[in-house]
Chains A and B, each alone.
Chain A
Amino acid sequence: MTTLLDVQNVSKRFTMGGIFGRKTIDAVMDASFSLSSENPEIFTIIGESGSGKTTLARMILGLEDPTEGDILFRGEQVDRHAGRAERLKFMSHVQPVFQNPFEAFNPLKQIERYLESTARRFLDTSDKAAIDKAMDDSLQKVGLSLKEVRGRFPHEMSGGQLQRCAIARALIPNPPLLIADEPVSMVDASLRMSIVNLLKSLRDDLKVSVIYITHDLATAYYISNRIIIMQRGRIVEMGDARTVLENPEHAYSRLLKASVLSTDDAGAGKLGTDPTMLDQANNSVGRAGELVARPDGRHVRVYA
């Protein structure tokens, strides 16, 4: 078994000024996990805003240097200061999809120009026919076609279609790893499931591994193989998605699950969060503890 991505004891510390003077923020502390290249999976990172999930993703993409620890992609260090050729090679293997498709695309540019420049760069060709074919192929994978997209501007498409285009663009170099940072949170409810189903089919049919970052536990349960739950930079629980989400052990994971709005008693207007649960979850903030393996395969952070 070869590893695709290996994240080893990664930490990231930001220094910033604030109302109470200059301070440092530990965005990610001691995160480790690895993905294997044989079985593609959807690996989900869950956490509230400020939990460090996006910082972790940015480090994997090489947009941010880790303060400590190493990130290895196929055995090689992810380094944003590497030479251009190496950087391009890395980018052809790991591609991002961002949260808001309306912001990811320039409203004044036709969508195909993004696809075209990606294709031109990674196929290293200026042959029009080859570029068109690459564009059409990847659009077909997301259920669109070049004919539909050609000549259209971002405002002419719905959020769901645009997010599909963003995924199609990421698929052009045939990357083995896709990093999707909250790809559905800005998409309308009725179109959201089509994106989630698309990510699922990427894994099942195209064998692409996906790192899916979200705060939506329901879609995470629906598509992921493994998940990690992050609280203020620390991984508090990780393991098989179904095992963890059906029966979360850490106080914060339980709070997350309890906060998912249920439709089972629609109209009853039940909204209260158990204050003891909130206290327990807040209690673990800032405490180191250690990750302990459990018999069912999950890891949970416990505090002495």
Chain B
Amino acid sequence: MTQENDIILQVEGLKAYYQMNYFGVNREVRAVDDITMTMRKNEVYGIAGESSSGKTSFIKVLAAAIRPPLRVVEGTVKYNFKNGPIDVTTASPEQIETVRWKHLSYIMQGSMSVLNPVRRIGRTFQDFAQRPLGLTGKAFEDRVVKHLARLNLPADVLKAYPHELSGGMRQRVTIGLATVCHPEFIIADEPTTALDVVVQKEVLSLIRDIQKEMGASVVFVTHDMSVHANVADRVGIIYAGRLVEEGPTRQMFFTPKHPYTAHLVASLPRIGDTQQRPALEGRPPNLADPPQGCRFHPRCPLAVDKCRKEVPPMIEVAPGQRSACWRWEDVKPLVNIAAPAGAMA
């Protein structure tokens, strides 16, 4: 397989803004500002960023759910699916219809609000997957039941209403919905945020297993760095609409080259460790009026004059690791994250 064929997603210079015009006043929110990234097949790419960092807008573009007021201003999002390449920023709705669910799928956030509360799970499966799969009646049901069995769900859940299932089961149902058509590319938006630790681990390993089994690529979005540490092959950090750093998971954790990444990693508390944790002051900037220069500079401990004026470019700082910081050479991990012996037995 050549290098070219190995790439499933190529995002280049993507700019997506919310453009509103109320009562003659133009307002522009730069939710996604100049993001460039590529993803290989069979890879789990973790996206980390806090709320209002533009990560959800970015995913919306990736999922080809671009609805006004969100508009793609510049750039391309090219997928390389088995049934041919597609650029979702310019594709017609009919073209997108051919790839949706079958090739490009989406595990949504908040399993309670995703499933229709007055429809049994089986009906939701019908609404959702009957058309892309092209199966009806018994054949369709068999296929769904077989798929649910892989997710450790009994066939009975098809007859249940969403409120009758526990949070973990509901989340597995939404994973089932997203994967029943065997997509090549799955976008998982905070799939474990509302779950508690035991169930979270179960759901994460399930996503990982399904991904390996189907050979799919997954974009995994969450603000919880400890989830990324265990699930993602590569991690990209989004801050205020820009990708600030990306690289292989291990490198991102042990040798971060952007102060924001260093902070995110350092702020994870661990059992067996009582030292005072640094908390980052300030708040993410308002994307309607982002700061000049590097958008992280008002909260950055390393900021110098240059950071306030010029936008740092994304440059390769280590093999496979890119960072957008003028002072990347000075970024040190904030805490020593090597574990004290036996603390995490």
Judging by beta carbons under 8 Å apart, are B197 and A48 in contact? Answer: yes
**Residues of A216-233 contacting chain B, CB below 8 A:** 216-219, 221-222
Tell me if B98 counts as interface (CB < 8 A to partner A).
no
Residues of chain A contacted by B263 (CB below 8 angstroms): 190
Which of B136-144, B244-252, B304-312 is near enough to bind chain A? B244-252
Judging by beta carbons under 8 Å apart, are A218 and B269 in contact? Answer: yes
Judging by beta carbons under 8 Å apart, are A267 and B249 in contact? Answer: yes
CB contact under 8 A between A273 and B208, given known A190-B264, A191-B280, A256-B197: no
A269 CA to B253 CA, complexed, in Å: 14
CB contact under 8 A between A264 and B344, given known A190-B50, A193-B267, A217-B271: yes
Judging by beta carbons under 8 Å apart, are A266 and B279 in contact? Answer: no
A18 CA to B166 CA, complexed, in Å: 13
A273 CA to B272 CA, complexed, in Å: 20
Which of B4-12, B87-95, B224-232 is near enough to bind chain A? B224-232
Q: How far is the CB of A98 from chain B (nearest CB, A)?
A: 15
Choose one: B195, B208, B225, B283; the contact of A161 (CB below 8 Å).
Answer: B283
A269 CA to B204 CA, complexed, in Å: 10
Judging by beta carbons under 8 Å apart, are A261 and B269 in contact? Answer: no
Scan B274-303; emit 1 where CB is below 8 A from any A CB, else 0. 101111110110000000000000000000
CB contact under 8 A between A263 and B269, given known A160-B283, A215-B196, A215-B197: no
A192 CA to B264 CA, complexed, in Å: 10
Choose one: B204, B253, B264, B273; the contact of A189 (CB below 8 Å).
Answer: B264
CB contact under 8 A between A191 and B50, given known A48-B197, A257-B271: yes
Residues of chain B contacted by A76 (CB below 8 angstroms): none
Judging by beta carbons under 8 Å apart, are A193 and B50 in contact? Answer: no
Choose one: B205, B228, B271, B280; the contact of A273 (CB below 8 Å).
Answer: B205
A19 CA to B160 CA, complexed, in Å: 8
Judging by beta carbons under 8 Å apart, are A271 and B270 in contact? Answer: no
Tell me if A50 counts as interface (CB < 8 A to partner B).
yes
Residues of chain B contacted by A221 (CB below 8 angstroms): 269-274
Tell me if A159 counts as interface (CB < 8 A to partner B).
yes
Tell me if B27 counts as interface (CB < 8 A to partner A).
no
A193 CA to B268 CA, complexed, in Å: 8
Tell me if B200 counts as interface (CB < 8 A to partner A).
yes
Scoring B196, B201, B232, B268 by chain A CB atoms within 10 A of each residue's CB, the highest score goes to B196
Residues of chain A contacted by B329 (CB below 8 angstroms): none
**Residues of A150-190 contacting chain B, CB below 8 A:** 157-161, 188-190
Judging by beta carbons under 8 Å apart, are B200 and A259 in contact? Answer: yes
Judging by beta carbons under 8 Å apart, are B229 and A263 in contact? Answer: yes
A191 CA to B277 CA, complexed, in Å: 11
Scan A183-221; emit 1 where CB is below 8 A from any B CB, else 0. 000001111111011000000000000000001111101
A192 CA to B344 CA, complexed, in Å: 22
Judging by beta carbons under 8 Å apart, are B204 and A271 in contact? Answer: yes
Scoring A188, A255, A260, A267 by chain B CB atoms within 10 A of each residue's CB, the highest score goes to A267
Judging by beta carbons under 8 Å apart, are A267 and B253 in contact? Answer: yes
For the side of the interface on B, what is the size category?
35 or more
Judging by beta carbons under 8 Å apart, are A246 and B226 in contact? Answer: no
Judging by beta carbons under 8 Å apart, are A261 and B267 in contact? Answer: no
Q: How far is the CB of A3 from chain B (nearest CB, A)?
A: 28
Report the interface size for chain A: residues with CB under 8 A from the other chain: 45
A301 CA to B67 CA, complexed, in Å: 55
Residues of chain A contacted by B40 (CB below 8 angstroms): none
Tell me if A272 counts as interface (CB < 8 A to partner B).
yes
Judging by beta carbons under 8 Å apart, are B201 and A271 in contact? Answer: yes
Judging by beta carbons under 8 Å apart, are B196 and A49 in contact? Answer: yes
Judging by beta carbons under 8 Å apart, are B269 and A188 in contact? Answer: no
Q: How far is the CB of B34 from chain A (nearest CB, A)?
A: 22
Judging by beta carbons under 8 Å apart, are B205 and A267 in contact? Answer: no
Q: How far is the CB of A51 from chain B (nearest CB, A)?
A: 9
Choose one: B167, B223, B249, B343; the contact of A188 (CB below 8 Å).
Answer: B223
Scan B181-198; emit 1 where CB is below 8 A from any A CB, else 0. 000000000000001111
Residues of chain B contacted by A259 (CB below 8 angstroms): 197-198, 200-201
A124 CA to B248 CA, complexed, in Å: 59
Tell me if A276 counts as interface (CB < 8 A to partner B).
no
Judging by beta carbons under 8 Å apart, are B223 and A158 in contact? Answer: no
Q: How far is the CB of A269 from chain B (nearest CB, A)?
A: 7
Tell me if A2 counts as interface (CB < 8 A to partner B).
no
Residues of chain B contacted by A263 (CB below 8 angstroms): 225-226, 229, 253, 265, 268, 270, 337
Judging by beta carbons under 8 Å apart, are A266 and B198 in contact? Answer: no
CB contact under 8 A between A219 and B223, given known A256-B198, A264-B344, A273-B205: no
A197 CA to B267 CA, complexed, in Å: 11
Choose one: A196, A260, A270; the contact of B197 (CB below 8 Å).
Answer: A260
The 5 closest A-B pairs by CB, nearest first: A267-B249, A194-B279, A267-B250, A188-B50, A271-B205
Listed A/B pairs (28) with beta-carbon separation below 8 Å = A18-B164, A19-B160, A49-B166, A49-B199, A158-B52, A158-B284, A188-B50, A189-B50, A189-B225, A189-B267, A196-B269, A196-B277, A218-B270, A245-B271, A246-B343, A260-B271, A261-B226, A261-B229, A263-B225, A263-B268, A263-B270, A266-B249, A267-B232, A267-B233, A267-B249, A267-B253, A269-B233, A271-B231
Interface residues of chain A, those whose CB is within 8 Å of chain B, are 18-19, 48-50, 157-161, 188-194, 196-197, 215-219, 221-222, 245-246, 255-257, 259-264, 266-273
